[in-house]
Amino acid sequence: MSEARSLRTALASAERLLASAGVPCPRADAHALAAHLLQVSPGELARLLLLGAPAPAGLDELVTRRADRVPLQHLVGGVTFRHSAVRVGPGVFVPRPETETVAGHAVDEAARVAADQGTVLVADLCTGSAAIAIAVAQEVPASRLVAVELDPAAFAWAEQNVAASGAGDRIILRRGDVTRCDRTLLAEFAGEVDVVVANPPYIPPDGVPHEPEVRDHDPALALYGGGDDGLEVPRAVVAASAVLLRPGGLLVMEHGDAQGAPTRALAGAGWDGVRTARDLTGRDRMLLARRAR
């Protein structure tokens, strides 16, 4: 293999192309694409670089697509969310690192309840890829979950991920509108849920994301929350949670970093301990509220 097609040279070229296209992490993405094609870990990729290994077939094509701002997660077929591998692609929202903090609060509360009463029931509203539901199921073995998604394309990804998770016998998937959770969709769980967790759409109509990966590839149904403030769906999540949660049950709901006060205002009478929690970057990220006893 010529020097021009060595792995090292190919990655250097890929990094330059991705940087020129404005990709935020060009080196990391180039290496991730190569590791994906070679089916090796980052450590093994580093070893192959030292050995002067050849570039894998198909790398140029994937790098070109990444330069066109196709999400890296679509190109490699998935994302690691907390301790779980979740498959994603066109038609489903790509879980973000900040949502891992949201999931962490739900996991911690579910573990606490399970330790107290032996089992815990968790509802994941607007589940998307089912990343949060799977994280809770895998990290809290005593948990039972019901996860709701409206978008048929996203629901298909959720079904695939739940089936591959090893916890599918403890996760019920329901396709439907979160605004109907309190009346028909989850009526049999009313007053029985210990934790509601949700990453609903919450972007207002004038808040179109700048990142092409988000703007052009994440489904609009997973981004825009409805209404002038983007809080129509979050408002429905809070209303559904008021019916689903048992007294003392916890709501954990993600929101935008400027929506702390507006989302706290959604939890009025009937809620205790209403507060905003931050993500690992220090930004306001989620509403925490307990159903009044």
Q: Are 148 and 176 in contact, with CB atoms under 8 Å apart?
A: yes
pLDDT of 185: 87
**73 in a structural domain:** no
pLDDT of 179: 80
pLDDT of 182: 61
pLDDT of 5: 84
116 phi/psi in degrees, rounded to 5: -80, -40
**For the chain (length 293 residues), average pLDDT per consecutive 10?**
74 97 97 97 94 94 98 97 96 96 98 97 98 98 97 98 96 91 83 97 95 95 95 96 96 97 95 96 96 93
Q: Are 124 and 198 in contact, with CB atoms under 8 Å apart?
A: yes
**243 in a structural domain:** yes
Q: Are 231 and 266 in contact, with CB atoms under 8 Å apart?
A: yes
- Locate 291 and state its tokens: 């159903």
pLDDT of 1: 37
**74 in a structural domain:** no
Domain boundary among 11, 41, 68: 68
Domain count, the chain: 2
Domain housing 54: 3-68
284 and 240 within one domain = yes
197 and 147 within one domain = yes
CA distance 202 to 66: 27
110 and 24 within one domain = no
CA distance 184 to 174: 11
44 and 13 within one domain = yes
